Amino acid sequence: MGYYISVEQNVNIFVEDLDPGHGKPILFIHGWPLNHKQFEYQFNQLPKMGYRCIGIDLRGFGKSDRPWKGYSYNRLADDIRIVIDTLQLEDITLAGHSMGGAIAIRYMARHAGHKVSKLVLIGAAAFTRRPFGLTKEEVKRWERTWNDLIEATYIDRPKMLDGVGDVFFARYVTESFKDWFHGLGIEASGHATAMCAVSLRDEDLGQDLSKIYVPTGIFHGIHDKVCPFKFAELMHAQIKGSELIPFMYSGHGLFYEEWEKFNRELIRFIG
């Protein structure tokens, strides 16, 4: 079932709710620059096992409205809160990938984990503002990379997306899958894509991790070139009682590259 939820005047968020009213709810937050359809290989399996999968398109992405403003982590986390309250969700597993993981972290800190009983961080972009463990020159190169992505978004977004796709997966994916994946990014607003890249570059989650008090699973690909595995180790060290689940054969796209293990570990973690 797909429908829209109003999060502020003239801004509606698209929600896909599989098997509404039944099973433990898992609320998925997609990564940059994709949409909820990235979780297709979870949505077509987990409901069979009794889980209610809810995917949202963040503002500016997928089928959601495309306002000119509102792409800070605070605003995006507030959108999540409105979706949760509108659907009257309880005992949620909040699962965020990449930028979606960063938004999930901000949600937990800003809204005190409202209605969330477990948190799953999937290749989470937790340290893009302060990439720990890098030399000064590497940090400068990291910042240039984000600046180049933002500039390329406004000049030749399809080519920019091709470049993102080239580093997203560590394992072989077919050309057909690449085309499908590229199409998810194309569905987004170009301006929203750029503004969220600015947030990824500039937002700081340094004070947020210590405010997470629910059981947290950190799912991360060993070969991740977008959010290095070091991010996972740092999150594990800073989130009390968290569990680190490495994916030995995956890059940033572990939800697809090892989708059977991913689904199995997600079910185990939720319980």
At 251, the amino acid letter reads: G
Q: Is 98 a catalytic site residue?
A: yes
Walk across the sheet containing 116-122 and list its strands.
2-8, 11-17, 51-56, 24-29, 92-97, 116-122, 216-221, 243-247
Given 30, 36, 220, 252, the catalytic residue: 252
Q: Is 199 a catalytic site residue?
A: no
What are the angstrom distances between the C-alpha of 130 and each of 57, 105, 127, 139, 235? 27, 15, 5, 8, 13
DSSP-derived secondary structure letter, 49: G
Q: Is 223 a catalytic site residue?
A: no
Given 97, 208, 224, 250, the catalytic residue: 224
Given 98, 189, 242, 250, the catalytic residue: 98
Cβ within 8 Å of residue 38, ≥6 positions away: 30, 31, 97, 181, 184, 255, 256
Q: In terms of DSSP H, where are the helices of the chain?
A: 40-43, 73-86, 99-110, 136-155, 157-168, 175-186, 190-202, 229-238, 254-257, 259-270
3-state secondary structure of 97: strand
Task: Determine which helix (DSSP H) or strand (DSSP E) holds 246, and give its type and residue range.
Answer: strand 243-247
Residue 44 to residue 201: CA distance in whole angstroms: 33
Is the Cβ–Cβ distance between 145 and 124 less than 8 Å? no
| Residue positions counted in the chain | 271
Is the Cβ–Cβ distance between 29 and 96 less than 8 Å? yes
Residue numbers annotated as active site: 98, 224, 252
